A and B are shown apart, each in its own frame.
Chain A
Amino acid sequence: MNTEIFGIIAMFLLTLALAIPLGKYISKVYGLEKTWLDFIFNPVEKVLFKLSGVNPEQEMNWKQHMKALLTINVVWFFIGMIIMMTMGSLPMNPDGNPSMSADLAFNTVISFVVNCNLQHYSGETGLSYLGQFYLMFLQFVSAATGMAAAVVVFRAFRDKTTTELGNFYTYFMKSCTRILLPISFVVAILLAFQGTPMTFEGKDTVTTLQGSSQDVSRGPAAAFVAIKHVGTNGGGFFGTNSAHPFENPTYFSNMVEMIAQMLIPFAMIFAFGYFIKRKKFSWMIFGVMTVGFLALTIPNVIAEMQGNPMIQKMGIDTSLGAMEGKESRIGAAATGYWSIATTVISTGSVNSMHDSTMPLSGMNELLAMMINSFYGGVGVGILNFFIFIILAVFISGLMVGRTPEFFGKKVEAREMKIAMIIALIHPFLILVGTAITAAMPQYGTATLNNPGFHGLSEMLYEFTSASANNGSGFEGLGDNTFWWNVSTGIVLLLARFLPIIGPVAIAGLLAQKKYIPENDGTLKTDTATFGLVTLTVIVIIAALAFFPVLALGPIAEYFTIY
């Protein structure tokens, strides 16, 4: 049993050890400083920029950034709709899988464009290899979109007073070529050697040892699974995601995938500090996030290792933990750890079925997505956290009776309005979506896989996952219906682009303001005290918004079995 605990401690420490140097590298990439990979990437990028018709040195203000970002996302959406609805008759379809219906294509394409990867289809039967490859393309570019938006915020606090915040296409392209691509390539190779298939041959049929016939789906999975984690996308190649023994063949592959998905979210925090030359500020953010992460993870690991009390009562040996919906090669501890890692960052890949985790584990998974900023997805995690920092600055400012300031910039009514709207839109989408669905049993209750309190949790999870751009699910839910496809599709769009535009707008507005040098009365934002205030703000908002619904779902379920 101890080897399972060692495994998760090793995963966390290795991620941290890799993330600090990577953060330094990322800061150099966005600061356009020299790196040791320049000799490859400089000439390559020159060609890519030329072919795209981009002048990489052209400076943009925050509005121009957002226009460029939204336009290119629209292009991806339309190409995606065409491919998903016609792939059945296009090449690269050895298994003869069909094209998607319009509503399923709408949901799928949006969910990959917005880095969520809510999958209402199953990879083995729902996509051709061409379809898989287009989704893989979206996994790269949606991650790079989030990172490019985060860099705009980085830039806004590096220079004293400015409207020029760099070039969107440069940040976007460099995220693709210099960060996502090389890391994904390394991860893909590691996975291929662990046994994840990378072949263009379709299904194979084998005769089992007992003599029956078994069809085995394969495919070019290693390349796909790599970026699925590196870009915190989470969309699996196979239906059961990283629980599938091809997608995650060994304990080592499980460690690789776990580290790969947390690596860039960690590194972006340190990159922020290096970029604005305030390393201590990075550690404050990292500290708050880690406290939050551990507070959710430790109970999950314990609950999953202890197992289901209702099965304990049946009098069997439950020392392996809650094994329903879990894999033997991964074990209960690493599964509990993964269930929170994948929900605090917005990956949403799963190595177990969250629907079958213990009630309070399910609650912590929900809370992780409701808060959505303990590390958070690549790029966007730090944007979400930035909103909470602004709120904490404002509240601290009021408490000491001074105009709130953040890095020498006055935070005023306009910025606060934006921050409040962004902070409230997330609970609004989750709660209203769940309430409407619960009010229409023919669309909601009819699709459930479990009765009672757990059934409500299934609906709540789906909207929380959509709004957090996470993509995991209580997968018992029969979610490939017109209602679920369209309602979560709309939530996905709003919950992706507003929380990008909001923080970038705040940063852009602050960057234009006059710089006020720090003095004795300035609120220090890189201290443990400020970290505590930020954590409190996060907890209060999450608790006030979500406690009632959690009480009706997972908490009520807890009391029925303990």
Chain B
Amino acid sequence: MKNNLIIGIRMTVVLLVLFMVIYPLSVWAVAQLAPNNGKGEVVVYKQNIGYSNIGQNFTADKYFWGRPSAVDYNAAGSGASNKGASNEEYLAVVQGRIDTFLLKNPTVKKLDIPIDLVTASASGLDPNISVASAKVQITRVQKTRKISSEKLNSLIDANIEHPFLGIFGPTKVNVLKLNIALDQLN
């Protein structure tokens, strides 16, 4: 037993050096070659930077909106609603989001509202929406910006992120990048 304890302590010290120092430092060293030196990918706008993987809160009519967030896009925390499918309080919240969306987008038919626009993401920081969710907002953005809907339509098409290798996974739009491109259009 005593022998095991001494070996246990010595081996732990050896492995602490291996796994808490050598391993992370080697990964860190290689990550210096990664986008933005491993500090998180960024995009530039108006002399500011934003993290392209971290969603931002868009509420103004002139921007395309992202998904609802249970933590208001607080990226110093992250979180979801964790509401169950049968929870009536939750279903009322979803109904409320649908009503608000229809109010702000009076030309849109209810059946055309994609579900990702009225349900909260898992991280509360989802940077993406589906292509349909971007297109359903065209009329509103067009009215506030006075840009033709054809132009907005092709702007969205230009910002579509296709499935990985063309065959794996969903098609989507990065809301922050789309809105930056929108600002640059004016």
Asked whether B19 lies within 8 Å of A136 as measured between CB atoms, the reply is yes
Q: For residue A385, which residues in chain B have a CB less than 8 angstroms away from its CB?
A: none
Q: For residue B129, which residues in chain A have a CB less than 8 angstroms away from its CB?
A: 328
Kindly identify, within residues 397 to 438 of chain A, every residue whose CB is under 8 Å from any CB belonging to chain B. Answer: none
Q: Among A3, A176, A334, A454, which residue has its beta carbon within 8 angstroms of that of B84?
A: A454
Q: Among A176, A209, A246, A310, which residue has its beta carbon within 8 angstroms of that of B15?
A: A176
Q: Among A184, A217, A315, which residue has its beta carbon within 8 angstroms of that of B76?
A: A217
Q: For residue A134, which residues in chain B have a CB less than 8 angstroms away from its CB?
A: 20
Q: C-beta contact mask, B105-144 vs A, less than 8 Å → 1, else 0?
A: 0000011111110111111111111101000000000000
Of chain A, the residue at the smallest CB distance from B162 is A3
Known: A3-B163, A238-B78. A52 touches B14 (CB 8 A): yes
Measured in the bound complex, the distance between the Cα atoms of B41 and A357 in whole Å is 30
Of chain B, the residue at the smallest CB distance from A310 is B91
Known: A197-B40, A220-B24, A317-B112. A325 touches B82 (CB 8 A): yes
Asked whether B15 lies within 8 Å of A325 as measured between CB atoms, the reply is no
Assess whether A244 is interfacial by the CB under 8 Å rule.
yes
Known: A71-B8, A209-B183. A245 touches B27 (CB 8 A): no
Within the complex, the shortest CB–CB distance from B110 to chain A, in Å, comes to: 5
Known: A198-B38, A199-B38, A454-B86. A68 touches B123 (CB 8 A): no
Q: For residue A325, which residues in chain B have a CB less than 8 angstroms away from its CB?
A: 80-83, 119-122
Of chain B, the residue at the smallest CB distance from A220 is B24
Q: For residue A215, which residues in chain B have a CB less than 8 angstroms away from its CB?
A: 74-76
Assess whether A105 is interfacial by the CB under 8 Å rule.
no
Within the complex, the shortest CB–CB distance from A228 to chain B, in Å, comes to: 13
Asked whether B83 lies within 8 Å of A355 as measured between CB atoms, the reply is yes
Assess whether A358 is interfacial by the CB under 8 Å rule.
yes
Q: For residue A197, which residues in chain B have a CB less than 8 angstroms away from its CB?
A: 38-40
Asked whether B130 lies within 8 Å of A320 as measured between CB atoms, the reply is yes
Kindly identify, within residues 50 to 70 of chain B, every residue whose CB is under 8 Å from any CB belonging to chain A. Answer: 50-60, 63, 67
Asked whether A198 lies within 8 Å of B34 as measured between CB atoms, the reply is yes
Q: Among A6, A254, A328, which residue has its beta carbon within 8 angstroms of that of B67?
A: A328
Known: A223-B24, A245-B123, A316-B113. A355 touches B169 (CB 8 A): no
Known: A222-B27, A223-B28, A323-B119. A311 touches B76 (CB 8 A): no
Sample 6 A-B pairs with CB under 8 A, ordered by A number: A52-B7, A52-B10, A68-B8, A136-B19, A195-B40, A243-B80
Extra contacts besides A185-B27, A208-B50 (4): CB < 8 Å: A6-B167, A214-B75, A322-B115, A476-B84
